[in-house]
Amino acid sequence: MTSKNIVLAFSGGLDTSFCIPWLKERGWAVHTVFADTGGVDAEERAYIEARAAELGAASQVTVDGGPAIWDGFVKPFVMAGEGYQGQYPLLVSDRYLIVDAALKRAAELDTRAIAHGCTGMGNDQVRFDLAVKAAGDYEIVAPIREIQKEHTQTRAYEQAYLEERGFEVRAKQKSYTINENLLGLTLSGGEIDRWEAPGEGARGWCAPRAEWPAETLRVTLTFKQGEAVALDGQPMAGAALLAKLNALFAKYGVGRGMYTGDTTIGLKGRIIFEAPGLAALLAGHRALEEAVLTKQQNRFKPEVARKWVELVYEGFYNDPLKADLEAFLQSSQACVNGEVVLETQGGRVDAVAVRSPHLLHAKGATYAQSADWGVAEAEGFIRLYGMSSTLWAEINRTP
């Protein structure tokens, strides 16, 4: 009997490792796709490819997802400038690019079956399923959701399942769910899920305070129409630039946080995240944008940004509203050109200097220092500007 082809989005972690033998035992020929969206070195990439073969994948394809994740997520996210619920920088948004890679592989194999290792308790299942559904009529198989019908402690079950079949499980995978890509790194599971203080193993790229360098780090970012295009005067492709920022600022512990958020499915989700490069990009972009956009643009734009972030977080990456909002964001960036100097001594990053031909700096006036208008003009402005509130106070003042 010929096995049916199915494409599995594969990362080499516990969940997707479990999926290969589980699917094979149900008659599928499993073709794995690892979309390398950054965050793994050559050794880890080789491990993932070898892991797929060890577990019995019929074929394994690795795709370079760096350029796609920069164009498809980083550019509009930095232009938006908002994290989900004001904190989380959407570090698992590479899921949409992973789906694209899996769909491309499915077309090559002439199959309409897609599998993923998302659990039934998280947001990623929504992102994967909605992205696949937006592309057409596919059969979606989610092994982890299936085993949850019978097992409540799914990670323990997956580990035992693999070990019974002779496959080893990494020690770290026994404690935490780890997601790592060009955008950053997230950790959940173990004591994090129990709202306890993170253990020593709950750390990724960001160095602890005791290991921060003594010298100050200072870099210059160049932006063109809201997109970072150069680092310290050297033009760089977006994915390479972000990877460099990750390496530089991780040494200083920049971009690490702990976050509890309202998930798409209604549960509270608690994670540790590390996003040193995005933290630097956001700090630089915001400093430049605040100086070149008008007061009304700066007031209104966060409303658009929050909606864009909600759509991406909740799985609506392909909804037309997202494209509509991105059209506004792109339009708002026409004058976001210039250089920003970033500085860190550890733990946080600050924009300490801004240079742009579009700075909205009045030639004859400086805030709280000097003005090219008279006292009468200032008093007249205040009187008219506060007319409504002043009238209310006069009419309703207690005798």
What is the residue whose two structure tokens read 């199915």? 6
Domain enclosing residue 224, as ranges = 177-293+335-355
| Three-class SS state of 324 | helix
Q: What is the CATH number of the domain that holds 188?
A: 3.90.1260.10
DSSP letter (8 states) at residue 167:
-
Query: Are 181 and 159 within one domain?
Result: no
Query: Are 92 and 222 within one domain?
Result: no
Q: What is the CATH number of the domain that holds 57?
A: 3.40.50.620
Residue-level length of the chain: 399
Q: What are phi and psi of 321, to 5 degrees?
A: -60, -35
Give the separation between CA 243 and CA 70, rounded to whole angstroms.
Answer: 11
Q: Is residue 305 a part of any domain in this protein? A: no
Give the separation between CA 52 and CA 82, rounded to whole angstroms.
Answer: 37
331 close to 280: Cβ distance less than 8 angstroms: no
Query: Are 241 and 113 within one domain?
Result: no
Per-residue pLDDT of the chain (399 residues; tens, 9 = 90+): 457 999 999 999 889 999 999 999 999 999 999 999 886 788 989 999 999 999 999 999 999 988 899 999 999 999 999 999 999 999 989 999 999 999 999 999 999 999 999 988 778 899 999 999 999 999 999 999 999 888 888 888 999 999 999 998 877 556 777 888 999 999 888 899 899 998 888 888 999 999 999 999 999 999 999 999 999 999 999 999 999 999 999 999 999 999 998 888 788 889 999 999 999 999 999 999 999 999 999 999 999 999 999 999 999 999 999 999 999 999 999 999 999 999 999 999 999 999 999 998 767 656 657 777 778 988 898 889 888 998 888 889 877
Q: Is residue 170 a part of any domain in this protein? A: no
What is the per-residue pLDDT for 155? 84
Tell me the residue ranges of DSSP E strands in the chain.
4-9, 28-36, 59-64, 113-115, 139-141, 177-181, 184-188, 217-224, 227-231, 234-235, 256-262, 268-274, 338-344, 350-355
Ranges of H-type helices in 293-348: 295-313, 320-332
Cα–Cα nearest to 30, from 168, 165, 141: 141
Give the separation between CA 143 and CA 149, rounded to whole angstroms.
Answer: 10
Q: Is residue 360 a part of any domain in this protein? A: no
| Three-class SS state of 221 | strand
Query: Are 190 and 132 within one domain?
Result: no
Give the separation between CA 285 and CA 338, rounded to whole angstroms.
Answer: 10
